[in-house]
Structure formats: structure tokens, C-alpha cells
Amino acid sequence: MKLALEKDGYEVMEAGDGIDAFVVIKTKSPSLVFLDINMPKINGIQVLEEINSMETPPMIVIVTAYGSERVAVDAMKKGAYDYISKPYEIDELRLIAKHAFEKLALEEENARLRSEIDRLGSRGEIVGESREMNQVFNKIEKVGPSDVTVLIQGESGSGKELVAKEIHKKSSRKNNPMIIMNCAALPETLIESELFGHEKGAFTGAVERRLGKFELANKGTIFLDEIGDMSPNTQAKVLRVIQEQSFERLGGTETLRVDVRLISATHKDLFKEIKKDNFREDLYYRLKVVEISLPPLRNRREDIIILAERFIQFFSEKHKKNVKSISNEAVKYFTRYSWPGNVRELQNVIESAVVMANAETLEISDFPEEIRNSNSNSSLDYNLPFRDAKKIVVEAFERDFVSRKLAENDGNISKTAEALGMHRQSLQHKIKELNMK
């Protein structure tokens, strides 16, 4: 048994009886144990029971004499993985060992995935593994339980509302309402009524009293999206609410007190807006006790395919389609495209492609022309900073070059590394860095 398994590359240790076996198992932590039933000192069933009481027991295969299969079956009911009857064929022994280690590898992968799911689950609906997004997640974790005002800055479509929702979920106010208002979606004449409410007859059309967003958010959180589009007059009233936690409804004289946490967001550079006299400086500093900057999608390209796969799964289920993946060719185009509409654009593109798809895999032909044209440097976004543009071109070259070499060497990492003049570990790191599969 030892010679056969060592020939297959396994490291094998031996024990003459059950007592010796405990010493070997506790000191060497083997993954797999072939355990005989009839042994000196204590029998195999007793050893099995002792092993199974360990915190992380090894996998057990019972070795039994011909005709004693019933004992082996009982052992399997007590936790053994499998059994082998003596006399056995060497090929049978090898096959059992092979299957046992495959099962162990699968269990380890499942444990890793469960751990990853638990970790990602704490991030709610936000998806991303890039360094930039991990910095955002860390800030959310720290600021969530506090009660400070938070200013989220980022381009349109980058996910500012999702960040606000995660902050609220991690706060002590999570069981109270979170009220959302987009300041750019309403004309100035209606914003104040929406925020502070109004009394009956306060203006033409005010046929009854209406509660405002701040009142509805009492004990909870109010999220003011695109606050950079708010008029200076309304800004002054919001500042008062932050400072005094009080306001009056339009047309009313009663001062109402509220307890709200304010989170705001904007795609504008508020510091520049202050210099143009479009935004109050005192309000700005009240809003940004903590500032979270969301990176645009083009600056976290390693997240593009992660997001795309998540959207494929979601929209496949939503629209009852059988789309499961995106082709390697389409991945190249996706990672080179600049995504001016950020995550929202990616989401819309994937949903459209899933709805129209006729196959399980999305091909580049399923996507809009602007993405199909992103495979050449001529489609590079020249509005990008030099560093970002250079990064896109270099990554595109590296991905293409490494892909070709991998293809030439049938995906063999060692041979490809040798062909590239790299260490194997360096190539593995590069493949991971380029988000290649």
C-alpha cells in the first residue's frame, strides 16, 4: 500500500496500531487515513470514533477482510468515507485515494467560497475586488456605526446610492427609515416642499398638509443625491437642519425637531462650485465630516468582469433566460472600453444583451458598436489623464501577449513562463493581476 501510493506522489506515514496512529495523526495532521479494523491494543472502530471527535478529523477509509463488509458499512455510518476489502487490487486502492483527495479538494474550495460569500455578503449589493473598492468598503465599515454626516463623491452611475444604503444598514438607525431624494430631479420651486413639507394653502395647489423628507426620516437617515444641484436658498435651510435639527414646514409657524443622519452625494466638484459662488462653504464642511470618493469604472478595470458576471446571473433569472457567461473575446473588449456611464452603463448593456441573446454565452457581437470598436488604440478615451490612458494600453498589450503565449503552450504555466522569460510565480501573479481566466 505504501509503495503504491508513494509511487503516485503521496506522502505516506505508517502506524503499527491504533495508539501509534493517534500520535501520528496529532503530530503530522494527515489528510487521509487507511484504517484497519483488526489491530492490536484497540480496534479500528474505536480509533474511528476517537478520530471523529477531533476538531478537524482526517478522511477515513476502512480496510477490512473479505466477508466483513457489514462491519465496514457500519463504520461508514459512523463517519468513514469509504472502505476497501482485502485482498484488494492496487488500481482499486489508487482510485479510492484519488477520489478521496478530489473530495477533500472540493470541500476546501467550498469552505473558501463560503468564506468569500460571507465576506462579500457583508458588503451588501456593492461588488468589487479592486484596491480602490476595498478602500471604499473599509470606510463604510468604519463610518457606518457612527452618526457623522457623509459626503459621497463620484461620477454619475458609479454607485453612490448603494454606498449610502450600506452606510445606513451598518448604523444604529438601520431599523428606521432611509429616505432618498434626488435634488437634480425636481425644479427649485418643489425641492423645499419635498424636503420640509408644507401646510394646507401654503401655495397654489397645496390642498392638504404634506410631510417632508426630513420629517419622514426622523430617527433614520436621509440621503440627498446630487446635492451640488441644490439652490443656495435651499442650501441655507439644509444647513440649519444639520446645525439645529429643526425646521418649519412651508406656510407653517410651528418649529419641528427631528433626529436624522444626513448622507449626501454629488458628481460635481463642490470646492470648485464654492469658488463660483454656487455652493455654500459652511454647508460643504458640514456635509463632508467624512468623504468617500467612488472611483469610476475605468479606474477599477479588474472589477468589470466580476460585475458583468453578477449582472448576467441576475438578469438571466429576472428575464428567464439561460445565459451563463461572457466569451473571452468579449472580455477583452469590455476591459478596454472606457465605460463613461460607469456601472449603470455596464448594467444596462448586460441586461440588453441577455434579453436578446440566443445562446448561453454572450459574444462581442451581442454588444453595442461603441464597445465593439474599443479593441484598438484609436478608440482610446483621450479625455483620460495620461497615467490612466497609459495603464489601459499597457494592460491591453500584456493581456494579449500573455494570452498568445499561453495558447501556444496549451495553457501550461511553467512552459509559458519559460517562453516569456519569467518565473512561474511571477506569471501566476500577472495572470491574476490582469484578471485572466
Query: Closest Cα to residue 43, out of 19, 68, 60, 67?
Result: 19
Write the CATH number for 393.
1.10.8.60
CB 59 within 8 Å of CB 104:
yes
In 3D, which of 283, 331, 281 has the Cα closest to residue 306? 331
Tens of pLDDT, residue by residue over 37-60, are 888 888 888 888 888 888 888 999
> Is residue 176 a part of any domain in this protein?
yes
**Can you give the pLDDT of all 437 residues of the chain as single tens digits?**
999 999 988 999 999 888 888 888 888 889 999 999 888 888 888 888 888 888 888 999 988 886 677 787 888 888 888 888 888 889 999 999 998 888 888 777 766 655 554 444 445 678 888 888 989 999 999 999 999 999 999 998 999 999 999 999 999 999 999 999 999 888 877 888 999 999 988 888 888 888 999 999 999 999 999 999 999 889 999 999 999 999 999 998 999 999 999 999 999 999 899 999 999 999 999 999 999 999 999 888 889 998 999 999 999 999 999 999 999 888 888 988 889 889 999 999 999 999 999 999 999 999 998 888 765 544 556 666 777 778 777 887 888 788 878 877 878 888 899 889 888 888 888 888 887 76
- C-alpha distance from residue 80 to each of 62, 145, 255 (Å): 7, 47, 73
Mark whether 22 and 68 lie in a shared domain: yes
Pick the last residue of a domain from 295, 325, 347.
Answer: 295
Q: Cβ(254)–Cβ(215) under 8 Å?
A: no
Task: Give every strand in the sheet of 221-225, ordered side by side.
Answer: 178-182, 221-225, 261-266, 150-153, 290-293
Distances (CA, A) of 197 to 201, 212, 226: 12, 4, 20
At which residue does the C-alpha cell 461508514 appear? Answer: 76
125 belongs to a structural domain: no
The pLDDT assigned to 378 comes to 47
Residue at which a domain ends, from 68, 91, 118: 118
Residue among 64, 61, 86, 98 at smallest CA distance from 76: 61
Q: Do 259 and 332 share a domain, yes or no?
A: no
Is pTM beyond 0.95 here?
Answer: no
Kindly state whether residues 212 and 111 are assigned to the same domain: no
Same domain, 188 and 98: no
d(CA 273, CA 228): 8
Whether residues 305 and 290 fall in one domain: no
Do 343 and 412 lie in one domain? The reply is: yes
DSSP 201-236: TSSTT--S-B--HHHHTTTSEEEEETGGGS-HHHHH
Do 84 and 63 contact (CB within 8 A), yes or no? yes
Cα angle value 81/84/89 (rounded, 5°): 135
**81 contacts 72 by C-beta, under 8 angstroms:** no
On whether both 280 and 141 belong to a single domain, the answer is yes
Q: What is the dihedral of CA 279, 281, 285, 287, to 10 degrees?
A: -20
Cα 273 to Cα 176, 178, 189, 228, 411: the distances in Å are 33, 28, 21, 8, 53
Task: Give the total number of structural domains in the chain.
Answer: 3
Q: Are residues 236 and 153 located together in one domain of the fold?
A: yes
Q: Are residues 291 and 309 in the same domain?
A: no
- Same domain (yes/no): 37, 58: yes
Give a yes or no: residue 126 inside a domain. no
pLDDT in tens, 399-428: 878 887 887 787 888 889 988 988 888 888
All three cell numbers of 162: 448603494
> Among residues 275, 295, 315, which one ends one of the domains?
295
Determine how β-strand 255-257 pairs with β-strand 150-153.
unpaired
Q: Say if residue 83 is in the same domain as residue 144.
A: no
Give Dmax over CA atoms of the chain in angstroms.
Answer: 98
Residue 160 lies in a domain: yes
Residue 192 to residue 230: CA distance in whole angstroms: 10
- Stated as kind and residue range, the H or E segment containing 335 is helix 328-336
User: How large is the angle between the packed helices 131-143 and 160-169, nearest 10 degrees?
Assistant: 40
Residues 224-260 as b/e (b if ≥16 CB within 10 A, e otherwise) read bbbbbbbeeebbebbbebeeeeebbbbebeeebebeb
386-408 and 328-336 helices, crossing angle to 10° = 160
Measured distance between the N- and C-terminal CA atoms of the chain, rounded to whole angstroms: 38
In a domain, 11, yes or no: yes
Q: Is residue 123 part of a domain?
A: no
CATH number at residue 23: 3.40.50.2300
| 8 Å CB contact between 389 and 380 | yes
Question: What are the Cα distances from residue 304, in Å, to 24, 116, 297, 375?
Answer: 48, 18, 7, 16
Q: Is residue 30 one of the residues assigned to a domain?
A: yes
Contact in structure between 208 and 200 (CB atoms under 8 Å)? yes
Q: What are the residues facing 291 on neighbouring strands?
A: 151
Contact 134, 104 (CB under 8 A): no
For residue 357, give its domain range: 299-433
Residue 152 lies in a domain: yes
**pLDDT digit string, tens, across residues 166-179:** 999 999 999 999 99
CATH number at residue 257: 3.40.50.300
Q: Looking at the structure, do residues 165 and 273 belong to the same domain, yes or no?
A: yes
